[in-house]
Amino acid sequence: MTQDEAKLLVAKRAMEFISDGMRVGLGTGTTATPFIYELGEAVKAGLRIEAIATSEGSAKLAKELGIPLTTFDDTPVLDVVVDGADEIAPGLALIKGGHGAHLREKIVASASKQFIVVADESKVVHKLGKFPLPVEVIQFALPLVTLRLDDLGLNPVLRPSPGGAGPWITDEGNVILDCHCGEIQDPEKTAKEIRNIVGVVEHGLFLGMANLALIAGESGVRELRVGNVLQGPGGTGTSELR
């Protein structure tokens, strides 16, 4: 199974958790995008939902597909958000932000009753940290934040733009430092240390936020949950991730 096939498979599975009248958060990235396409097809077929996107790119795609968009002014609580992850560790601890949208992704996830992660098997790890940890930073504070992250041993590197001309600029006008910190032994401690740095807007550690991960592999899609939670739609394949 190719990665594209896995992403489509898990997108279709995620659609089983969407029903008429829901308010849905739309993720960002190569795994979330197939879900947005599937949702668009369902809307064309008559599904009635409202959505909030986690990036300008996802919002643009949703509009092109005819998915009705709303705002937090009108819809402060979402029923579900479906988004990808760069790493998924025990306890459904995540690293996100490979596509630079982790600030909006965290805001949308925090407003949702259920946060469903969609990924392929390559994203499941025993400990977070092999994937660089993104930290979104106000441009004015970049030199200071870089020094502080260096002091913490997190080895920050300024993320270049996709074209290589200048730094990556987020939808909020900030820059991103990718921290090549290796295995993160204590994610909660690391998250707190980063958030305590003045000038940091948000980091890519998503801890205690996800309810369910749908993981695509050669044998189909399996479900990873935290604790003894009743199995959702889709039949067999539920696993418990502690």
d(CA 211, CA 145): 32
Cα 144 from Cα 136, distance rounded (Å): 13
CA pseudo-torsion sign 188, 216, 179, 52 = negative
Helix (H) or strand (E) holding 39: helix 32-44
Of 77, 174, 171, 180, the closest CA to residue 128 belongs to 180
Find the Cα–Cα–Cα–Cα dihedral 51, 16, 28, 102, rounded to 10°: 90
Question: Which one from 5, 50, 64, 105 is the annotated catalytic residue?
Answer: 105
Residue 56 designated active-site:
no
Residues 6+ apart with CB under 8 A from 73: none
Active site residues: 105
